[in-house]
Amino acid sequence: MDCSDSIAFPRRLAALQEGMERAGLDLILLFDRANVRYFTGFRLNRVISSILAIPRDRDPVYLVAQLDLERAKRDCWIERIVPFPEDTPNYLSALAPLFNDKVRKVGMERDVITLAQADYIRELVGPGCELVDVRPLTTRLRAVKSPEEIELIRRAAEIADRAMGEVIDHLRPGASEAELSALAECRMLREGVEGVSFEPFLMSGENGWLPQRISSRKLLQPGELALLDMGAVYDGYCSDLTRTFAVGEVDAEKRRIFRIAYAAQQAAIAAIKPGIRACDVDAVAREMIAAEGLGEYFPHLTGHGVGLSTHEPPILDRDVEMVLEPGMVVTVEPGIYLPGVGAARVEDMVLVTPTGHEVLTATPRELV
């Protein structure tokens, strides 16, 4: 049996309902694709949406497009599956039977719902409607991965490693950014993944220090740095991996910024353990880069959680007080983008263990 088949989705839902009870919510409506999949286990095409409705005193209801109804009935563990009219203005009308005079406090994902959706729900509830952000509940559940989830993330990381290795074998002056990023994507798809975690991109030379987070038709030139960022989705779970390459021989300043970025990354990884705050991991990398006079050229976070979403809590950045716990999976990826010189970033996925950490990605990190 695939490890994804053994995940206890009803147990996840029961944990959410416990939080729902404590928060006094009458109904939760989940629209976010990753949240819906976390509780249903049901995969949809990336352009298709669905809604998971969780009443406080009744069984959950899964709303899917009419075209997905029969497959959902076959493959999803939830018993009450209801179709809605796809791509029509009134698709939310399928929610109406869930509302009665007892429903007043509704949990929704504040960062996902649209104004139109919120207005429709308020109209269904009527006077006294209270919409509450349910993200704190779902974030807490999803941040700590189960052993089954960790196994899926391992597989996604292994596939990304193999794809990165294939790119390294084909790296040469004259190859285009688009050609090499396409090679990575093709390799991952050949292994049967659901897709890529995000549009893979290779940025070289000036495109690196801009930075330009897309691949272009630009050809790699001798003496420049090139950076490839990519990841795979395996049974819903993402990987995220970055390596920096030397195209031929590079000068001392390029090697210097790589050395500093890599050292900062390794120091931040070494700091990861249960009980440390996300902001303290960030500070390790940020302070090392700043001490070399390059702090202004490190413009982003040090890392982020990875799971059903490519970017999810915990976020390793300034002022993020979230404490790391065993079972969390994060990336560590401080970078330097120095105008006129190039970009350098090494990114690995790291599992927080009971005694420290484990690095899940294995592609060689040195300049190639």
Kindly give, in sequence order, each residue whose CB lies less than 8 Å from that of residue 292, ignoring residues fewer than 6 positions away: 260
Q: What is the CATH number of domain 144-359?
A: 3.90.230.10
Q: Which helix H or strand E contains 229, and what residues bound it?
A: strand 224-230
Say if residue 5's pLDDT is above 90. no
Instruction: Give the confidence band of 3 by pLDDT, cuts at 50, 70, 90.
Output: very low
SS3 at position 82:
strand
Token readout for 77 is: 């563990």
Task: Collect all residues with Cβ–Cβ distance below 8 Å to 168 and sequence separation of at least 6.
Answer: 243, 245, 363, 364, 368
DSSP helix/strand/coil, 121 = helix
Helix axes 9-23, 135-143, angle to 10 degrees: 140
Average pLDDT, the chain: 94
pLDDT exceeds cutoff 80 at 2? no
CATH architecture observed for domain 3-142: 3-Layer(aba) Sandwich (3.40)
348 has a pLDDT exceeding 70: yes
Task: Give the Å distances, CA to CA, from 191 to 158, 169, 225.
Answer: 11, 18, 29
pLDDT cut 90: percent of the chain above it: 87
Residue ranges of the domains in the chain? 3-142, 144-359
Packed helices 252-271 and 278-291: angle between N→C axes, nearest 10 degrees:
150
Alpha carbon distances (Å) from 346 to 87, 255, 322:
42, 13, 23
Query: Does residue 85 or residue 200 have the better pLDDT?
Result: 200
Residues 63-121: tens digit of each pLDDT? 999 999 999 999 999 999 999 988 888 889 999 998 988 899 999 999 999 999 999 99
pLDDT computed for residue 189 by the predictor: 96
**pLDDT score recorded for residue 4:** 52
Three-state DSSP class for residue 347 = strand
Prediction pTM value: 0.94
Cα gap 245→16, rounded to integer Å: 44
CB 234 within 8 A of CB 154: no
- Better-predicted residue by pLDDT, 36 or 1: 36
Backbone angles phi, psi at 306, to 5 degrees: -135, 140
